[in-house]
Amino acid sequence: MIKILNKKTISSFLSMMKGHPFITAAFICFACLPLTGEKLTPLAPLISGMILFCICSVFSIYISENTAEKSRKSMRICLIIISAVLSALFGYMLSCASSPGLVVLNAGLAFIAAAAGYFIASRKIDTQKTILLIFIAAVIFRLAYIMVISIKIKQHDVYSLKEMKGHLGYIGYLVFHNALPDIDVRTVNQFYHPPLHHIISAMWVKFQNGIGISADNLWENIQVLTMFYSCCCMIISYKIFRQLGLEGKGLVIAFAITAFCPTFIIMSGSINNDMLCLTLMLAAVLNTLYWYKSRSFGRIMCIAVSVGCAMMAKLSGWMVAPAIAAVFIYVFFKEIKSWKKYLTQFAAFITVCAPLGLWWGVRNYITHEVPITYIWELSERSGQYVGDIPVLQRLFDFNPSQFRDIGDQFTQYGGAYNEYNPLIALFKTSVFDETFTKSFYPSVAGIDNILFWSAVILGLVGFASMIYSFIRDKKLSFIHKLFIGLLYVVILASYFIFCIKFPQVCTENIRYAVPVIVVGAYFVGRLVMNMLSSSNSKTHTARLCGISVIISVTVIYCLMSLTFFDTVFITK
Contacts of 411 (CB under 8 A, 6+ apart): 383, 384, 417, 418
Q: What is the pLDDT of residue 111?
A: 84
Percent of the residues in the chain that have a pLDDT greater than 70, as a whole number: 90
Of the candidate ranges 85-94, 139-148, 425-434, the one whose mean pLDDT is the lowest: 85-94
User: Do 523 and 476 contact (CB within 8 A), yes or no?
Assistant: no
Q: What does each C-alpha distance from 100 to 147, 150, 208, 563 come to in angstroms?
A: 7, 13, 22, 17
- CA angle (36 as vertex; 35, 40 as ends), nearest 5: 60
Q: Which of 262, 232, 288 is nearest to 459 (CA)?
A: 262
Q: How far apart are CA 301 and CA 286, in angstroms?
A: 13
Cβ–Cβ < 8 Å for 293, 286: no
8 A C-beta contact, residue 257 and residue 455 = no
Centre a 10 Å sphere on the Cβ of residue 68 and count the other Cβ atoms it contains. 7
The phi and psi torsions of 133 (rounded to 5 degrees) equal: -65, -40
* Residues 6 or more apart whose Cβ sits within 8 Å of residue 384: 378, 410, 411, 412, 418, 504, 505, 506
Q: What is the dihedral of CA 103, 105, 108, 110, to 10 degrees?
A: -80
CA dist 521 and 233 (Å) reads 13
What are the pLDDT digits (tens) for 476-506?
Answer: 999 999 999 999 999 999 999 999 999 999 9
- The tens digit of pLDDT for each residue in 168-221 reads 999 999 999 999 998 999 999 999 999 999 999 999 999 999 988 888 788 999
CA-based nearest residue to 263, from 524, 458, 455: 455
Distance CA 171, CA 44 (A): 27
More confident residue, 17 or 459: 459
CA-to-CA distance for 125 and 112, rounded, in angstroms?
13
- Residue spans of beta strands (DSSP E) within 239-293: none
When mean pLDDT is compared across 1-10, 373-382, 524-533, 545-554, the lowest value belongs to 1-10
Provide the mean pLDDT of the chain: 87
Taking the C-alpha atoms of residue 314 and residue 498, their distance in angstroms, rounded to an integer, is: 15
Q: What is the pLDDT of residues 396-450, one digit of tens each?
A: 999 998 998 888 888 887 788 899 999 999 999 999 888 655 555 556 668 888 9
Structure pTM?
A: 0.92
The helix or strand, by DSSP H or E, that contains position 199, with its residue range, turns out to be: helix 196-210
- Three-class DSSP category at 479: helix
**Exposed / middle / buried, residue 475 (Cβ in 10 Å: 0-12, 13-18, 19+):** exposed
Distances (CA, A) of 443 to 41, 219, 446, 566: 31, 31, 9, 11
Phi and psi for 504 in degrees, rounded to 5? -125, 150
Which pLDDT value is given to residue 524?
96
Q: Which residues of 130-168 are buried (b: 16+ CB within 10 A; e: fewer)?
A: bbbbbbbbbbbbbbbbbbbbebeebbbbbbeeeebbbbb
